[in-house]
């Protein structure tokens, strides 16, 4: 089963969002959750357990839950408001004129105030990573492309293949990389055990999906 990113997501009662992240356990090489961003305000990002994904058809992810049930699931982003001290107003003691258009200012006094600053935290389970479409893929001898999607065994959630997009706008193609070729994964980079020459020999296909 393919798990595309930036793809349309449908609940049992209609379109409910787009897929924006996959949460992955890098030790077990298992996808545990899908993050869905709502299509309407306030555009929340919601953590959806992988076992609620029933199928992916023509680039659309189908969930076995209703929109109302989706809204009750945990948010991916938690916002915390933190107090921050900022200058409130300034009192200049005085100013003078040097001549020839130049001014000088004496020291000033600032009165401090506080504001509430929003800080966002991603709710990623301990030991897991959030991978999004476009994450860099790096061979042993340099960058080779970007993450397009993952292929997952629907019975256990284990990743079987990484689908990597490579090439420029008019010559893009997807390369199918077996999970055994993945060395390590970080949130911003997927490292492969292969070099660029070995990747050239892997299966690929032209990119023409409607959601690409």
Give the pLDDT score at 112. Answer: 59
Superfamily for domain range 134-206: PRC-barrel domain (2.30.30.240)
| Fold match flag (2-78 vs 134-206) | yes
CATH 1.10.8.60 fits 2-78, yes or no: no
What b/e sequence results for 176-209 when a residue is b if at least 16 CB atoms lie within 10 Å of its CB, and e otherwise? Answer: ebeeeebeebebeebebebeeeebeeeebeeeee
Give the pLDDT score at 153. Answer: 83
pLDDT along the chain (212 residues), means of 10: 89 95 84 92 92 89 95 86 64 48 49 68 76 89 89 82 72 82 82 91 64 41
Give the pLDDT score at 206. Answer: 58
How far is residue 74's CA from residue 57's CA, in Å, rounded to a whole number?
26
Domain boundaries, the chain: 2-78, 79-121, 134-206
């Amino acid at each position: 089963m393919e798990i595309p990113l930036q793809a349309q997501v449908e609940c049992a009662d209609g379109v409910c969002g787009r897929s924006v992240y996959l949460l992955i356990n890098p030790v077990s090489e298992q996808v545990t959750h899908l993050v869905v961003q709502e299509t309407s305000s306030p555009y929340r990002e919601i953590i959806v357990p992988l076992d609620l994904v029933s199928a992916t058809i023509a680039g659309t992810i189908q969930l076995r839950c209703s929109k109302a049930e989706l809204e009750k699931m945990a948010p991916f982003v938690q916002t915390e408001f933190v107090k921050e001290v900022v200058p409130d107003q300034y009192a200049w003691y005085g100013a003078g004129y040097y001549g020839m258009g130049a001014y000088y200012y004496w020291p000033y006094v600032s009165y401090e105030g506080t504001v509430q600053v929003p800080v966002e935290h991603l709710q990623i389970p301990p030991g897991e990573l959030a991978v999004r479409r476009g994450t860099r893929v790096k061979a042993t001898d340099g960058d080779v492309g970007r993450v397009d999607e993952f292929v997952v065994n629907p019975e256990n959630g284990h990743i079987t293949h990484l689908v990597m997009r490579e090439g420029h706008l008019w010559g893009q193609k997807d390369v199918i990389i077996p999970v055994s070729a993945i060395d390590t994964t970080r949130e911003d980079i997927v490292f492969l055990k292969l070099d660029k020459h070995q990747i050239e020999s892997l299966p690929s296909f032209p990119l023409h999906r409607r959601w690409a």
